[in-house]
Amino acid sequence: MSLQADFQKAADNVRKLKAKPTDDEMSELYSLYKQSLVGDVNKADPGASDAVAKAKWDAWNKKKGMSKDDAMKAYIAKSKEMVAKYGVAS
């Protein structure tokens, strides 16, 4: 299977987790997903007025410089941890 196919399967599995991951786990998954698809953050810092948007932006910005392939590999690994921890609905 190609890296892209593995990544898509991992993303599909994350959407079917039986329980919601912690905020930290979700933040890590989000940042790796965005880095995989877009690359380095391409939006302005939203500022502190929107705490959720700011947290997402900060998490993604921490991945700056990570290649899309490396981000995909990290996302796949993290998704496997989440599937093992939470299970996947069929």
The answer to whether 20 and 70 are in contact (CB under 8 A) is no
* pLDDT number for residue 25: 96
User: CA 74, 76, 78: angle at the middle one, nearest 5?
Assistant: 70
Q: What pLDDT score does 90 carry? A: 79
At residue 68, does pLDDT exceed 90?
yes
Instruction: Report whether pLDDT(18) > 90.
Output: yes
Domains of the chain: 3-86 (1.20.80.10)
CA–CA distances in Å: residue 71 to residues 19, 23, 48, 84: 24, 19, 26, 20
